Amino acid sequence: MTKKCIYVKTKDHEYPIFIGKNIFENKSNFDFFSSGNRLILVTNNTIEKCWKKKIINNILMYPVLLDEFILPDGESYKNLDSVNLLLSYLLKNNHNRNSILLALGGGVIGDLTGFVASIYQRGIKFIQVPTTLLSQVDAAIGGKTGVNHILGKNMIGTFYQPSAVFTDINFLFTLPKRQLISGFAEVIKYAISFNFNFFLWIEKNFVNLLSMNLNDLLYCIRTCCEIKSHIVHLDEREKGMRALLNLGHTYGHAIEAYFKYSYWLHGEAVSIGMVMACRTAELLGLISTTTVTRVINLLNQFGLPVYAPKNMLPEKYIQYMLRDKKNTTNGINLILPCDIGKTEIFKNIDQKIIISAIKLCYRS
């Protein structure tokens, strides 16, 4: 078994991220379970078919009582209706403050489960078991929980840290290729935003990553987790530096919301959003056209989308971007690259520049 443990430390909380292969087989990872703990496995019907039996068999080695709650698969179910279903399930089955929610899934399951954990009886424990690359490198870490609203993504939620994160690379080998590739958008985001040397490493090793080389995947995941855990430690509630993790997300969230969370995967929308952010930075004179091209080339190497959806007009982005959580005035604040490895927050960006940048992102 290969294992690497990283700790996330906030002002009031500390928890481990276990990263490796077959990590559920190590009982020492679960020493926070007490005899008689009631554990609720929360997952979706796709993961249930692939992993539920194996996960349940592993969990039952520990002194816990197990229930399960299954949701349909898809971003469109990340809403208050699903929250109410899970809350009703917990109440009907008499779960109390000693119950523990276990989120087995990607960002949808993790965010929704964490949100319910934060509000059920004013807060119960939950554990993240991310099954997608995107959730392993990003969504499962840092305590952002929440659900979508038809008018905006992740507009309803809390900051609420898990008790632990169990990142097992085995999950990635049953992941559909499109989902795997989507996750690499968040990996590339970390490199553009914080670490030029990591960007160079990804450029050099993209073939190994796409072919699921074990050592390179583990290094990639570990690096992203180390970056995010450091940032969460410095800025848990996104008052400043943590906002830099949102490169490309303001544009990407607009795409997801416009299409009602039914077509574009999160990583795909973020990939397009990062190109738009680069084009905006280019128009503002922050980066060169050569740098923009280099970013686009890397996204292309992974098969990620780099063109704006042709059936979404540039002006349509603005109404969603104005609702973005990073905005502190009536204007639009954006995370923009100043170089590969460095991003900054820019406030009240002229909407004409944003629209001009988006127009540069359509396929000619």
Catalytic site positions: 122, 144, 186, 228, 238, 242, 246, 249, 253, 266
Pairing of strands 164-168, 125-130: parallel
Q: Please, is 119 exposed, middle or buried when counting C-beta atoms within 10 Å of its C-beta (0-12, 13-18, 19+)?
A: middle
Element of type H or E holding 18: strand 14-20
> Are 40 and 68 in contact, with CB atoms under 8 Å apart?
yes
> From the CB of residue 347, how many other CB atoms can be counted at a distance below 10 Å?
12
Cα separation, 253 vs 335, whole angstroms: 13
Compute the CA torsion angle 131, 132, 136, 141 (nearest 10 deg).
Answer: -80
According to DSSP, the residues that pair with 20 across neighbouring strands are 3, 168
Pair 142, 228: CB distance under 8 Å: yes
